[in-house]
Structures are given as C-alpha cells and as structure tokens.
Chains A and B, each alone.
Chain A
Amino acid sequence: MNKNKLEQLLNLSLDTGADFSEIYYEDTINRTIQLSDRQIDKIGTHLDRGVGIRIKKDDRMVYASTNDLSDENLANTINKLKESFQGEPIYKNVILKDKNIYNKEMDYHQGYTYKDKKNILKKIDSIARNHSSKVEQVEAILLEEKKDVVICNHLGEYSTDKRYLFRLIIYIYVNDHGKKESTYEAYGNNTGYNLFATFDLEKEVKRLVDIAISKLDSIDCPNGVMPVIIGPAFGAVILHESCGHPMEATAVSKNSSVLCGMLNKRVGSDQLTVIDDGTIEGAWGSTFIDDEGELTRKNVLIKNGILKSYLVDKMNEKPMHHPITGSGRRQNYLYPPTSRMNNTYIAKGTDKIEDMIKSINYGIYAKTMNGGSVDPNTGEFNFGCREAFLIENGKRTKIVKGATLMGNTIDVLKNIEMISDDLSLGTGYCGSDSGSIPVTCGEPTIKVNNILVGGNK
C-alpha cells in the first residue's frame, strides 16, 4: 500500500462530503507453539493482511473492511461506503505527509533458534514434573507476533508502526488420588525472547506447581460481605473492568458510564491514583501509536481520588470536548477503533501487606484473579478468584475455592482503605467493541472493605 494509492483512495472517499476519512492497513504474522503431553503438539500460524476504511459525516460513521487488496475491490468498497453521504467535498486533494513514523525492525527471536524454543517448553514440562509426582499434565504456549500498521487520514496524516508481541502461558494440572486442580500464569512483553531474562523460569514453574498442589486442600469459600485484600499485578483486572471501562469515551460520550459527569470530582479515596500508560517500555500493552495514528501517552486518570481524565478517541473528541488521549485501539482491520486501555495501573502506596492482613479479623485474601465482567452503566462487577485464602484473626489461614467477588465500582473505589508498595504488572487480553487487544493490568496489593464474596460454604 504505497502513499499514492492511499491518497487516491482517501480522495475518492471524500468526494460526497465526508468530514472524516481514515484508512488502516495491517500485515500481521502470528505464531503459537504449544507443548502438551511432553511434546510440541500444535503450531498455529496466522497471516492477516487487510484494510479497514472509516468515513464519517456529522455523527454518522460508516466502516468497511476487506482483505482483497486489488485496486478494483478497494475502489468498489469505497464507492459503496460513500453512497451513505451526499454533498460537496469538504476535503480535496489530500497529500500524505509523515506524522508519526516507527519502522524499526526488531529481531524478537534474539538469537533463539527453533531448537531453543522447543527446549524452553520442554524444560518447563520437566521442571514441573520433577518438582512433584502430583503433576499430571503440563501445557505451555509461546506466542510470537509481528504486526506492520499504516494509518492515514483526510488531514494528510500518515503514520506507521511496527509492533511486536511475545507471550508465554503455562498451565499446570495436578492429580492427587483422583482429586484434581490446576493453575496457570501468563508472562508477556513487546520485545521478544528477552522476557526470559526478566524472571527465573525454574523458580516460577515450581511456584505454579506448589499453587496447584495447595489448591487440592482448599476448602469451600465462605460467603457474605467482608473485607478483601486483592493481590498485585493481574489482581488489577478488577480496576481494569470496574474503573477502566467506565472511563472509556465509548461509554462516557453516550452518558452510559457510571463515571459520566465526574471529571474533577472525587471518585475514590485520597490514596488512589490510577494511570493508563501506553508508552511503558517493553510492556505487553504498549504501542508507539494508537490505531488512529496518534502517539500513545501516559494518562493520569485519577489523581489522589479525583477523576482527571477519560480515555478518548478521535470520534469522541468533539462531542465530549475532551482532548484525545492516544487510546483508539482495535484488534485488527475487521474492527473500527474505539477508546480502549493500554497498561492501566494503580500507583503504589506505602502500606505493607503484612499490616493489611493483621488489620482483618475475618475476610478474604484474593491473591490472583481469573478475570470477570462489569456493567459500565451501573458499575456493578463480578470476578472469579484463581487463588484465594481465608483471613482469620489477622492471619492468612486456609486456601479457599470457588470465591467470587461482587460489588460496585464507586463503592470499591471509595472503600480502598490501604495500598501497598508492591506494584507489579500482569498481562492479559481485553475484549470489547473493537475486538480483543493486549492489555496490562497492574496494581500493588490493596485492601478493600465490604465486598460481597460468594462461595459454597
């Protein structure tokens, strides 16, 4: 897709009076290598190449996507799209000029050969099985992705990005005389195999095996309203779901967010500062530009409990009278972008986890979370715990199973009583209107009062 061709297509799209036009092109190769049953069992390779074209006039938007990149098909696609509008052109003779260009090739394999990659996965299997005879199955998946992106628009802005993603997921299944349990963990970055320099793989695999084994002795989780300590890293999925999504312009501009009209108002306790930062070097949720061609940035969303910013994409900039935040994201060319999160985290506090546990007479320590869902209109959420413990008389006691946390965003933000100093980030995928995208959730350990805990005790 050269600039001349893109200019022709943009000009064609604008000649019935559109006030906005954008072309997004991507070329992606994504490979997953999966170990299961002690061998490399599956390899999935996906090659995506296509175009998404977005045209708008006033408050009506039309979008088309196709992977037939022939001149004839692209012209036909645009001709059909522009039939939605009638009028004299507002923009003519678009000439593309470089705006935000990132085209640095990266060797994300970093010297790792196919053999090395296989060996990493097999090493995970043998560490786990050697650590305990209760390990019944090990699955491990390596994901490598390279995505070239070009975005241009009616203002002549031409931006490019080269994006890399790398991820390892480990699943451990244990069996003790027919009683089974499992756990998993994911690790990711946007630079490649140097991920393995950031943690001790052997120690980590053994830790996961120990968690799965400890779950074999879990008791049914008690239920009721009680204080809950939520662990760091991916524990912040609660923040992501219950606080992040309601800050997205998609919900706010339509008055369908529990945080509408709250800008510069108190939404959380004094200690609470929440940031969404698409620029964190090496982070799984970072990109150079967003999917509208804007530079990503560090957005302080809540500062000391006061809501300071929403996450805003180009379509919502004018209706919301709010500057864009470099947050327009999409899964691929099949989706128009919407305002989404990148790397969202709670800034670290000064409390210690030991003091949090000591402060609770009866409650739950949700050390790691599975994920959950939220209604951004009302702020009501629910989350499943992956690993949770009972707290009795100021001490962490038994491991519990089947723990679900249920609550309301506004209540939780105000009920964060303690924030520790152990901030860390966890990787995941977020699904929403514009598809499934890589995001990071991060937080230090936090203590929240009065969450409804569901269990089977």
Chain B
Amino acid sequence: MIKKFIEEAKKENILIEVFTTKNKSIQLKTRNKKIESTDTSITQKYKIKAIYKDKVIQLYTDYIDSDTLIPLIKENYEILDVKEQTSFADQEIACKEFKENEVSLPKIEKDLLNLYALTKDHKEIDDLKIEYIYDCDEKTITNDKISIKDKSALHNFSGEAILLKDTIRKTVWFDYSLKEYDINKIKEKFKKEISTFKDKFNEESIKTDNYKIILSNTCVRKLLNSFSSIFFAEEINKHTSLLWDKFNTKIFSNKINIIEDPTNEELLGTTLFDSEGIKTYYKEIVKEGKFITKLYDKKTANKDHVFSTGNSDGVRNLYIKPGNVSFEDLLQLLNDGIVIKEVEGIHAGVNKTTGEISLMASGYFVRNGEKEKPLNRIILSTSIFELFNNVIEIGNDIEMNDTKCAGVSMLINNIKIVGNKE
C-alpha cells in the first residue's frame, strides 16, 4: 500500500517518505481490589513527508489513500511560504533485537490485585485505584531507497489513593514506568510510597522565606521537560527561547551538565532514529554550565548549514549528569531546610519567555539532616536560572518515568518558598 502510494505520488512529481508507527496498547484499571475496565488499542498511523517542487509538506494520517492525500499535499503547497532544500532518510540503520515482553492479561490482573495486599495495615486508605498500561511502538521509515525499523515498549503502573482521617481527605498519586515487566520492583516502590501516607495528615504550610532546598529528582525531571524547548535552534533563531542570545555562553553553575542520549539503554526513551531517519547519538547540550549544543531537525539544520541532531520529535532521554552523592547524603548536606518532593501545575506556572517559575509544591522540612514535618500549601517561587545557578550538589539518584527526560535530586541554596504561616 505504501509503495503504491509512493509510486502514484511520483507520477504527480511528489516525492514521498512515510514514517509508520504501529502501536499496541493495553490498559487495565482496578479499584479497591476489583478489575474495573480493560482498554486495548491497535493502530497504525502514518506521518507523510512530501517533497513537492521546492517545499516540504507533512501530513499525519490514519489511512493511505492517494485520492485524498495527493490533493491535500497540493493544497498545502499553495498555502505554505517556506521553501526548503531537504532530503529523505538514506542511512541504513540496523534494527536492534527486540524481545517481545508483553505479559498476559490474567497475570497482570493477578499482579495488580496482589498489590492491594500491601495496603492491609493502612486503614487511612479510603479509596485506591491502580492502573497498568502497556505501550508498544514499532516504527518504520519507508521511501524509495530504504526501509528502516525500530521497536520499543514500556510498562507503566500508576495509581491514586484517597486517604481519610476523620473528615480530612488527602490524595496521593504514584506513577512508575519500566522497560521490562518486573512486579517485584513495583512492589518495592509501592511499599515505599504507602509508608509515607500517614504523614499526609500532619502536613502544614511554612513561613515565607528564602531556604536551602533539595529539589527532588521527580521535580527536576518535570522542570527539565517543561524547559526542553529552550535548547532548540528553531526557538533560538526566532528569539522565542529565553536562551536566544546565550549560545556558547555560561548560563548555569559549573556543576550543571545537561545531556541528551537516546542511545542510553538504561533510560526509557531509547530510540535508534528520529522520524526523519537521523541516527540518534549522545550529546552534551550544557557543559559545566555553558550552553554548547543547539538541537536541530533537518529543516532548521539546513537553515544554519549544519547537520540535524536527530531531534525532529523533540528530546529523548534528556537529563542532568548525576553527581556522586546519594539522596541520604544530600539530606545531611542540607542539614536544615526543605525537600521539595512534588510540584503541580507546571503547564501554567512556568514562564518559558522569562524563565520564571511559580509552582504549588509539597515536601517536608528537614532539621539536622532528619525529616521533621511534612509540608503542603507552599509555592516554589524562583526561576530556572536561579535554580541551576544556586546548585550546591547534585545527587546520583537518577529517576526516569517518561521517555523525554530523567531527573536527579539537587541541593540548592537560597530559594524563595511562599507559605501562609505567620
């Protein structure tokens, strides 16, 4: 079908490359020890890159139908201004061996229901939902010269616990992703999570002040994800990135090294090539605080007369290089201060033009290196520059939960935390 479409388009002087994603996903929802629902999805979606005369047109479609797609390519050609010299994928990339790791539904159902046994001594749990998602992608790029393939899968466990004590309600969310299905790892993480549930009822706010903080690996991952677009050449060239005039200058503390490595098998976003067929590779974006690598797809790379960095689909496995210090050692170094465990509402509380950050947060106060009291209703009020310049130490506790970014905990000095306590 794809080959036929490529041939038919060629007759109209349109050159075609098709990026196909076959996706299989299974979602199982449980609630209070009962299976609630099962969702399965099998789809095949196509990203079509068409070179017509001097322009490049892209379509995203559920079906290949020359009679629909060829007129659309011609219509879009009339609207688009930007002319582009480009090429199709031409590099043969050997597909790595992929071990199919789909787990049978009855086993997953049994494993999920067994997780509830871990909560038997936790009377504070009023309602508990645990979900599982298996997501498997097979990606293929086909043009008239080559056909390359890659496959990846992820297992995700997430949940929501509603805690109740007298009339006070609290909510806890948890979310873990793995490449290999391993219910014992999930049990360990879940056990650790529920051991903190009772603390939720002792949470309080704090007096507004500047504090020494530890920003948890989860928060660092989320913030890195939110700010990842600032490293892209497209945003920099349009002056819409806050780093528009900062290339090859020092932007963060010497301790900050930001890396993107889609080849790292230890992380979740491993991929052989991007959707333009560019082979991915390890790259240092920020080295010892200096911004040294801009991220490109083919279009922006052509404009700057450089090669694409394989980032036509955004970032994969972007992380801050871990330090040598464990989280426990970071706590000792913090001595007295605040651990920010979670931040909420990143889509609304981060200004990507100025770098300002104002986010609802929760965590706990630490005295003499020991957890003293849980905190909630506090606001992390800072900027990305302040956070990454005031860093004292970087942890080795790399946390990964999505394919784009991973995080490490960081000890940071002098950060404003807003609270409603006098």
- Which of the candidate stretches A13-21, A365-373, A391-399 sits at the interface with the other chain? A365-373
- Which of the candidate stretches B140-148, B271-279, B346-354, B398-406 sits at the interface with the other chain? B346-354
Instruction: State the Cβ distance, A313 to closest chain B Cβ, in Å.
Output: 14
Instruction: State the Cβ distance, B175 to closest chain A Cβ, in Å.
Output: 15
- A65 lies within 8 A of B381 (CB): no
- B76 lies within 8 A of A45 (CB): yes
- A43 lies within 8 A of B79 (CB): yes
Q: Quick one: which of B43, B208, B350, B382 contacts A224, CB cutoff 8 A?
A: B208
Quick check: is A173 within 8 A (CB to CB) of the other chain?
yes
Q: Quick one: which of B35, B344, B377, B382 contacts A452, CB cutoff 8 A?
A: B377
- A67 lies within 8 A of B72 (CB): no
Q: Quick one: which of A44, A67, A181, A403 contacts B44, CB cutoff 8 A?
A: A67
Bound state CA distance, A285 and B241, in angstroms? 32
- Give chain A interface residues in 247-270, CB to chain B under 8 Å: 254-256, 258
- B349 lies within 8 A of A404 (CB): yes
- A49 lies within 8 A of B80 (CB): no
- Give chain B interface residues in 2-47, CB to chain A under 8 Å: 31, 34-45
Quick check: is A60 within 8 A (CB to CB) of the other chain?
yes
Known: A114-B75, A223-B381, A378-B171. A402 touches B351 (CB 8 A): yes
Bound state CA distance, A173 and B242, in angstroms? 11
Number of A-B contacts (CB under 8 A): 203
Which among B127, B240, B418 has the greatest number of chain A C-beta atoms within 10 A? B418
- Give chain B interface residues in 360-392, CB to chain A under 8 Å: 360, 377, 379, 381-382
B239: A residues at CB distance < 8 A: 136-137, 173, 175, 180
Known: A45-B60, A67-B45, A383-B345. A59 touches B240 (CB 8 A): no
Quick check: is A47 within 8 A (CB to CB) of the other chain?
yes
- B358 lies within 8 A of A402 (CB): yes
Known: A63-B39, A401-B356, A455-B381. A33 touches B348 (CB 8 A): no
- B382 lies within 8 A of A137 (CB): no
Bound state CA distance, A322 and B272, in angstroms? 52
Known: A372-B345, A402-B356. A454 touches B59 (CB 8 A): no
Quick check: is B359 within 8 A (CB to CB) of the other chain?
yes
B110: A residues at CB distance < 8 A: none
Report B411-422 CB contacts with A as 1/0, cut-off 8 Å: 000001010100
- A118 lies within 8 A of B79 (CB): yes
- Which of the candidate stretches B61-69, B258-266, B309-317 sits at the interface with the other chain? B61-69
- A48 lies within 8 A of B62 (CB): yes
- A404 lies within 8 A of B360 (CB): yes
Known: A44-B60, A404-B358. A63 touches B37 (CB 8 A): yes
Known: A65-B41, A136-B239, A404-B360. A40 touches B81 (CB 8 A): yes
B72: A residues at CB distance < 8 A: 45
Bound state CA distance, A334 and B41, in angstroms? 7
Quick check: is B133 within 8 A (CB to CB) of the other chain?
no
Q: Quick one: which of B34, B240, B351 contacts A139, CB cutoff 8 A?
A: B240
Known: A182-B353, A256-B127. A61 touches B60 (CB 8 A): no
- A223 lies within 8 A of B60 (CB): no
- A406 lies within 8 A of B127 (CB): no
Quick check: is A316 within 8 A (CB to CB) of the other chain?
no
Where chain A touches its partner, the secondary structure class is strand
- B79 lies within 8 A of A40 (CB): yes
Known: A382-B360, A402-B358, A454-B381. A37 touches B238 (CB 8 A): yes
Quick check: is B188 within 8 A (CB to CB) of the other chain?
no
Report A37-62 CB contacts with B as 1/0, cut-off 8 Å: 10111111111111000000001111
Quick check: is B283 within 8 A (CB to CB) of the other chain?
no
Quick check: is B122 within 8 A (CB to CB) of the other chain?
no
Instruction: State the Cβ distance, B39 to closest chain A Cβ, in Å.
Output: 4
In the complex, the chain B residue whose C-beta lies closest to that of A48 is: B62
B245: A residues at CB distance < 8 A: 178
Quick check: is B54 within 8 A (CB to CB) of the other chain?
no
Report B317-349 CB contacts with A as 1/0, cut-off 8 Å: 000000000000000000000000000110111
Bound state CA distance, A254 and B69, in angstroms? 45
Q: Quick one: which of A37, A117, A456 contacts B358, CB cutoff 8 A?
A: A456
Instruction: State the Cβ distance, B352 to closest chain A Cβ, in Å.
Output: 8
Quick check: is A384 within 8 A (CB to CB) of the other chain?
yes
Instruction: State the Cβ distance, B239 to closest chain A Cβ, in Å.
Output: 5
Quick check: is B250 within 8 A (CB to CB) of the other chain?
no
Bound state CA distance, A370 and B334, in angstroms? 34
- B418 lies within 8 A of A454 (CB): yes
B82: A residues at CB distance < 8 A: 39-42
- B356 lies within 8 A of A223 (CB): no
- A39 lies within 8 A of B81 (CB): yes
Report A47-91 CB contacts with B as 1/0, cut-off 8 Å: 111100000000111111111100000000100110010000000
Bound state CA distance, A60 and B38, in angstroms? 8
A256: B residues at CB distance < 8 A: 127, 160, 162
Bound state CA distance, A378 and B160, in angstroms? 13
Known: A67-B43, A334-B41, A384-B348. A406 touches B379 (CB 8 A): yes
- B81 lies within 8 A of A41 (CB): yes
- A36 lies within 8 A of B169 (CB): no
B418: A residues at CB distance < 8 A: 223-224, 452, 454-455
Known: A63-B37, A452-B420. A68 touches B44 (CB 8 A): yes
In the complex, the chain B residue whose C-beta lies closest to that of A53 is: B40
Quick check: is B226 within 8 A (CB to CB) of the other chain?
no
Known: A45-B72, A64-B39, A454-B418. A382 touches B62 (CB 8 A): no
- A180 lies within 8 A of B353 (CB): yes
- A36 lies within 8 A of B238 (CB): yes
Known: A452-B420, A455-B358. A223 touches B80 (CB 8 A): no
B358: A residues at CB distance < 8 A: 221, 384, 402-404, 454-456
Quick check: is B187 within 8 A (CB to CB) of the other chain?
no
Quick check: is A225 within 8 A (CB to CB) of the other chain?
yes
Bound state CA distance, A404 and B34, in angstroms? 39
Known: A173-B353, A178-B245, A223-B381. A43 touches B80 (CB 8 A): yes
- B354 lies within 8 A of A60 (CB): no
Q: Quick one: which of A40, A178, A182, A406 contacts B360, CB cutoff 8 A?
A: A406
Instruction: State the Cβ distance, A124 to closest chain B Cβ, in Å.
Output: 15
In the complex, the chain B residue whose C-beta lies closest to that of A69 is: B63
A43: B residues at CB distance < 8 A: 57-58, 76, 79-80
A178: B residues at CB distance < 8 A: 245
Quick check: is B182 within 8 A (CB to CB) of the other chain?
no
Known: A402-B351, A406-B377. A373 touches B345 (CB 8 A): yes
Q: What are 26 inter-chain pairs, A to B, with CB distance below 8 A?
A: A37-B238, A39-B82, A43-B57, A43-B58, A43-B80, A45-B72, A50-B62, A61-B38, A65-B42, A77-B42, A139-B240, A173-B353, A178-B245, A181-B354, A224-B420, A254-B127, A256-B160, A334-B41, A370-B349, A382-B344, A382-B348, A404-B349, A452-B377, A454-B379, A455-B381, A456-B356
A residues sitting closer than 8 Å to B (CB atoms) are 31, 33, 36-37, 39-50, 59-68, 77, 80-81, 84, 114, 117-118, 136-137, 139, 171, 173, 175, 178, 180-182, 221, 223-225, 254-256, 258, 334, 336, 369-373, 375, 377-378, 380, 382-384, 401-404, 406, 452, 454-456
- In the A-B complex, list the 7 residue pairs whose CB atoms are closest, starting with the nearest: A454-B379, A382-B360, A384-B348, A39-B81, A47-B61, A371-B348, A404-B358
